[in-house]
């Protein structure tokens, strides 16, 4: 089955810098979502971008989607210590038999150094 | 607060114990999910309930037994677990149970099987 893959697996930057994480997937999708997870906690939804959208913003977050390359990126601008977390992408798979199953990547661990 | 509450937050059990994980959502959602999160692996969907009916069972071993008495409550009964079942178990809910909407997660139960 398809699996989203985040890149890089880990990223460490200085506070105030921008952080970029990438997600690649294998089959056609209807939408792609990004989630954040603080250590040992549940996931929090950040942004959902549909296949007919190319870019979406939410505060300091910018998500792009390139369906021709089957990839998405999450940009966090002016990073803060509180942004330290793992970030996951999840896609539906419009060829799959299930209407309920998202396909998750293994995540990018982001560390913001003060 | 995401509106999804899980208890307990931590659980240590022996392989012969019986325990239950509890999840409650206060969002009026119709779908609830159990996910398993192991270190460095993508989230694994275990079960989906939509309008109290189980709609997905991703080949989960019978030592995991879900129960959904109503749309707001979800349980995961555990019996005769193995050490490899140690993981973070996450409950989530969504409005309609499709892959076109965001999920709301609880904080998870960190399970250790000795």
DSSP per-residue letters across chain B:
--SEEEE-SEEEE-TT-EEEEEEEE-S--SEEEEEEE-TTS--EEEEEEETTEEEEE-S--TTEEEEEEETTEEEEEEES--GGG-EEEEEEEESSSSTTS--EE---EEEEE-
Q: What is the mean pLDDT of chain A?
A: 90
Residue B95 confidence (pLDDT) above 90: yes
One-letter-per-residue 3-state SS of B97-111: CCCCCCCEECCCEEE
The partner residue sitting opposite A30, judged by closest CB among B45, B97, B100, is B100
Q: Is the pLDDT confidence value at A74 over 90?
A: yes
Residues in CB range of A111: below 8 A, 6 or more apart:
A10, A11, A12, A13, A84
DSSP state of A84: -
Residues A27-49 have a mean pLDDT of 93
The residue among A1 and A52 whose pLDDT is bigger is: A52
**Which pLDDT does position A98 carry in this prediction?**
57
- Contacts with B108 from chain A: Cβ below 8 Å: 40-42
| Phi, psi (degrees; rounded to nearest 5) at B83 | -55, -35
CB pairs under 8 A between A and B: 70
Subunit contact B105:A104, Cβ cutoff 8 A = no
pLDDT at A2 over 50: no
Q: Which residue of B42, B97, B107 is in closest CB contact with A41?
A: B107
pLDDT surpassing 70 at residue A97 = no
CB burial readout B23-53, b (16+ within 10 A) else e: bbbeeebebbbbbbbeeeebbebbbbbbeee
How far is CA A26 from each of CA A2, A114, B75, rounded to the nearest angstrom?
6, 36, 34
Give the pLDDT confidence score for residue B113 in this predicted structure: 95
Residue B110 near residue B33, CB atoms below 8 Å: no
Q: Does residue A74 or residue A26 have the better pLDDT?
A: A74
| A49 in B contact zone (CB under 8 Å) | no
Closest-CA residue of chain A to B5: A42
Q: pLDDT for B48-84, tens place per residue?
A: 998 777 777 778 999 999 999 999 999 999 999 999 9
Q: Is B90 in Cβ contact with A42 (below 8 Å)?
A: yes
Angle of CA points A33, A27, B88, to nearest 5°:
45
Q: Which residues contact A52 (CB under 8 A, 6 or more apart)?
A: none
More confident residue, A46 or B53: A46
- Greater pLDDT, A86 or B99: A86
**If you ran DSSP here, which 8-state letter would residue A51 be given?**
T
- How would residue B16 be classed by pLDDT, with cut points 50, 70 and 90? confident
Task: Tell me what pLDDT residue A106 has.
Answer: 87
Residue A100: what pLDDT? 67
**How far A44 CA lies from chain B's nearest CA (Å)?**
7
pLDDT, mean of residues A14-24: 96
User: In the structure encoding, which two tokens stand for residue B1, read together?
Assistant: 């607060």
pLDDT value at residue A94: 62
For range A79-96, the mean pLDDT: 88
């Amino acid at each position: 089955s398809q699996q989203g893959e985040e890149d890089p697996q880990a990223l460490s930057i200085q506070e105030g810098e921008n952080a970029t994480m990438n997600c690649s997937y294998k089959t056609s999708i209807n939408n792609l979502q990004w989630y954040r997870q603080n250590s040992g906690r549940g996931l929090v939804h950040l942004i959902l971008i549909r296949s007919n959208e190319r870019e979406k913003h939410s505060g300091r977050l910018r998500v792009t989607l390139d369906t021709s390359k089957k990839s998405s990126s999450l940009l966090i601008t002016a990073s803060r210590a509180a942004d330290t977390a793992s970030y996951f992408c999840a896609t539906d798979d419009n060829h799959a038999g299930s209407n309920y199953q998202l396909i998750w990547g293994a995540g990018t661990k982001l560390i913001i150094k003060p | 607060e995401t509106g999804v509450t899980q208890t307990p937050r931590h659980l240590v059990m022996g392989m012969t114990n019986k325990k239950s994980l509890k999840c409650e959502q206060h969002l009026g959602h119709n779908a609830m999910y159990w996910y398993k999160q192991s270190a460095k692996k993508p989230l694994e969907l275990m079960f989906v309930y939509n309008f109290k009916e189980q709609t997905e069972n991703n080949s989960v071993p019978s030592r995991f037994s879900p129960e959904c008495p109503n749309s707001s409550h979800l349980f995961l009964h555990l019996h005769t677990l193995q050490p490899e079942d140690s993981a973070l178990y996450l409950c989530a809910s969504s409005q309609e149970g499709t892959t076109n909407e965001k999920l709301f997660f609880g904080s998870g139960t960190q399970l250790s099987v000795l």
